Amino acid sequence: MHYRLLVRPRRGRPCGSLVLTKELALRRGTGPLHIVEIRDFYTHGRLVANHRAFIGHEITGSGVYEARVTLPIPRQAPPGRYEVVSLLYARWGQGSPTLIARARTRFTVAP
């Protein structure tokens, strides 16, 4: 499995936006697969926002998955370095969720 996050540009300003690209290469079986993506946003070691998305319906078989998400930078976002940590949890059938991948990237918010 391969999972990677990229953010472009690497520097933004409040009221602007960045583009987060997610790349996932996955081999999966034919049974039902539920995948949850949890993205946490940190600055100065503190969690400042998070997002949860169910993406299993977008992954219909083995192969490469790529998606781009626009990340707006709130007007009140303090300047500094930020880190995005994305966790993918999968659940096959009625089993318990299992962490299958983790990726991270960083960007800067300028004053």
- Residue 51 pairs in a beta bridge with 39
Task: With beta carbons less than 8 A apart as the criterion, state whether 41 and 83 touch.
Answer: yes
pLDDT tens track for 2-46: 999 999 999 999 999 999 999 999 887 766 678 899 999 999 999
pLDDT per residue as tens digits for the range 49-106: 999 998 877 777 788 989 999 999 999 999 999 999 999 998 877 778 999 999 999 9
Scored b (16 or more CB within 10 A) or e, 39-61 reads bbbbbeeeeeeeeeeeebeebee
**Whose CA is closest to 42, among 72, 8, 104, 84?**
84
Q: Identify the pLDDT of residue 31.
A: 67
Q: Would you state the pLDDT for residue 32?
A: 65
pTM surpassing 0.75? Answer: yes
Tell me the CA distances in angstroms from 17 to 11, 98, 107, 109, one per residue in order.
Answer: 9, 32, 11, 10
